[in-house]
Amino acid sequence: MEDNIAFIGIGAMGYGMAANLRRKMLQEATLYVNDPNAGACKRFVSEFNDHGPVEILGTAKEAAERAGTLLSMVPRPDDVRKIYLDPETGVIAAAPNTDLKSTLLVDSSTIDPATTREVGEKLMKAGVGTYVDAPVSGGIARAADGGLAFMIGHPPTPSPTQIRIQSLIQKMGNPEKVFFCGPLGSGLAAKISNNYLSGSFNVAISQAMSIGILSGVDPQTLYNVIKSSSGQSWMAENHQPVPGLVASAPSSRGWERSFGHAMMMKDLELGVAAAKEVGVEPTMGERALEMYQTAVEDDDVKDLDYTSIYKLVNKGLTERQ
């Protein structure tokens, strides 16, 4: 049981993460998967069973009873509560683990820190395992190639649990991008801070590029200027919202969605709430959030990538290129 791993939530991100686990974990150990989408579970078993045993489980309770490590990647706080705290089907319903090497519970969902602390405290009292938050950054591509960044709500001081977490995470992430951020909830605080920036940057980049282009600057020249100057950023170089400047960017594929407006809206809502909780006035985040709230209702961009905010910025304007 100790070497078995369970993964709950094999959606767009979880599928690639679970795939890397199955490739890199002990071949004789079993990977258990669970997801409301039964088809995704069956496809995963078919695709990765050659790497070692893969079994589908019906509940998180079963997963906690059969695996030494359980990971989850789900969209909402209520989903996390159901996985871990449901009195009948959740992890908390599993028999208390008296083994010194207790079950390791790792949640990679992007939710509010208050929920993760609530879940962690209740699981600790129930004695069913050690719970940590470990949200990720990098998107679907990095989930698939094992290059995710992880922000972990656990102290960086070496300990048996810290070493165990490190070993697990390195099967799914870039070892140089694994960050132990502090106590429970601090991984999420770091992730939310980063997302506050990325959501705001996207709006700022879209507006800045529009200012230059509408003022007559050639798009490629403007991109090169910003790339070589103080406005340079990872976002502008990798998720450039202006089509034709970065071949790999969604904008150059008709803003084909890799990360939608609704997801960015959720991330910024978390960021704005976190700012207010600590007394920071989130003026930039609130204005950016308004843009995404408009985007999810706009027929021209609502189904596109979040970088199509550029289209929204330019709606009704005439480009003088």
Active site residues: 191
Query: Identity (one letter) of the amino acid at 162?
Result: Q
3-state SS class at 137: strand
9, 16 contact by CB (below 8 A): no
Query: Identity (one letter) of the amino acid at 273?
Result: A
- What is the enclosing helix (H) or strand (E) of 33? strand 31-34
Buried/exposed 88-108: b ≥16 CB within 10 Å, e otherwise: eebbbbbeebeeeeebbbbbb
14, 68 contact by CB (below 8 A): no
165, 134 contact by CB (below 8 A): yes
189, 274 contact by CB (below 8 A): yes
Cα separation, 270 vs 223, in Å, equals: 31
Rounded to 10 degrees, the C-alpha dihedral 117/123/125/126 comes to 160
